[in-house]
Each structure stands twice: as C-alpha cells, then as structure tokens.
Amino acid sequence: MRVRPVRPNIYLPVVRFGVADSDWFSVLLISCAGYLVPVPLGLTVFYVPLQMWTWLLATAGSIAFFNYIRIGRRPCWLNQKLKSLFLHHRQYRAIPNGKKGAFNRSWLIDRQTDDTSFGRNRSPAASGAQTISLLEQNDRFQEDCAERWHTLLLMSR
C-alpha cells in the first residue's frame, strides 16, 4: 500500500458556531455578565425578566464578535489592531524607507566603554563620532529613498 501524506489536524482549534475553543471562556464570561448585571434591577420585558433578554443578546453578540474577528482575518489580527490604537508607532520597528524622524539616542552616541565591551580598543570619543556619522549617513539614505519613491509615485499618475 502506498504511503500518502497526511496533514495533521490535531493542532487546529476546535470550532463550534464559528468560535474557537480557546474563545469560549470569554463567551461564557460575557454571557454571565449579561445575565448578572440586570438582576438587582428586577425589571421585566413582556413578562420575562430582563436578565433573560440581556443574557441572550450578550451571548449572540459575543459569538458574532468572535466570528467577526476570526473569519477572513489573519491570526492575532485583533491584538495588532488594539496595539496600533493604544501604542505609539515609534515603539515598533521602522518600516524600510519610512518617514521616521531623526535617530537621536544618547545611550548609543554617548556610550561608556569598559574593558569587557566589544569596542575596548577604541576611545569613547572615536566610537561616538563614528556612530554619529553612521546615523547621519542613514538619515541621508532614508531621505534619498523617500524622494525617489515620491518621484516614482508622481510619474506613475
């Protein structure tokens, strides 16, 4: 009998109603909160306690939300969107040829060297001057690339 390649499905998440098994705990917590929040109010809608309606809406809403963030999107899409909303873009790596400001990091430029460091044969002043010249060269290169990209965009219109 010929050996056939088998793709193991044991690493794929178990999906029920479009929600992965790792997200069902969140759905359960949201549903419980939807049930317990209106309990102290004691209100009824169509002779049915309000918590029954909010529980149903919370469960349906959370299942719809988890379907929305999972289907047709890359893994960790929501985490990346939330990080981009709350964190500044300079906390991420630079995009090649991106429009980033000057790179002035005093801890790189004014680095103190000792005998155990990599640059122990060079003086701190020479190392700092070399770092500054490299940073200036990089800034010029980034600006030139940005200008070229801008001219290519203008020419393509």
Cut 0.85: pTM above it: no
pLDDT of 89 reads 65
What is the spatial distance between Cα 50 and Cα 46, in angstroms, rounded to a whole number?
Answer: 9
pLDDT of 122 reads 56
Residue 19: other Cβ atoms inside 10 A: 20
pLDDT of 115 reads 45
pLDDT of 72 reads 79
Consecutive 10-residue runs of the chain (157 residues): their mean pLDDT?
A: 73 82 91 92 87 93 90 80 77 57 56 51 66 86 87 77
pLDDT of 76 reads 78
What is the spatial distance between Cα 55 and Cα 42, in angstroms, rounded to a whole number?
Answer: 14
16: enclosing H helix or E strand: strand 15-16
pLDDT of 56 reads 94
pLDDT of 18 reads 85
pLDDT of 73 reads 81
Sign of CA dihedral 54, 57, 58, 59: positive
SS3 call for 94: coil
